[in-house]
């Protein structure tokens, strides 16, 4: 199961999916990047993805390996857009001209599965 309801995300552990965000009100360019972050309730980063815009959309894919690596439980996510992004040698965003957080941090739940595949 991969379900998005409003800003809440629920994923069965090990499932794949794709979330699309429209960058309404901001014209994105090839110099811009977004950072999608998932944190544990305790505050540690569980997943971080750097996303290049496709037109004025940000597509965040989730692979089987990524969701399988997350423990069952409650997390929080956000996405931040960095205009004229600067990156380090490993591709992590280190700065930019402006940072925009289009949505407030929101819940993400990784759900237990009983079957083995």
pLDDT at 22: 87
Dihedral angle sign, alpha carbons of residues 40, 98, 61, 19: positive
pTM of the model: 0.91
pLDDT in tens, 44-60: 999 999 999 998 899 99
Q: Distance between alpha carbon 53 and the CA centroid of its chain, in Å?
A: 13
Tell me the HSE value of 59 on the side-chain side, using a 13 A CA sphere.
6
For residues 54 and 59, what is the distance between their CA atoms, to the nearest angstrom? Answer: 7
pLDDT-based confidence at residue 31 (cuts at 50, 70, 90): very high
């Amino acid at each position: 199961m991969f379900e998005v309801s409003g800003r809440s995300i629920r994923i069965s552990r090990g499932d794949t999916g794709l979330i699309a965000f429209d960058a309404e009100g901001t014209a994105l360019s090839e110099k811009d990047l977004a950072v999608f972050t998932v944190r544990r309730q305790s505050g540690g980063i569980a997943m971080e993805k750097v996303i290049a815009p496709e037109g004025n959309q940000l597509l965040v894919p989730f692979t089987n390996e990524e969701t399988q690596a997350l423990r069952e439980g409650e997390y929080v996510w956000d996405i931040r857009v960095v205009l004229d992004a600067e990156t380090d040698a490993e591709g992590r965003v280190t700065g930019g001209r402006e940072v925009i957080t289009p949505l407030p941090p929101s819940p993400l739940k990784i759900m237990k599965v009983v079957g083995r595949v």
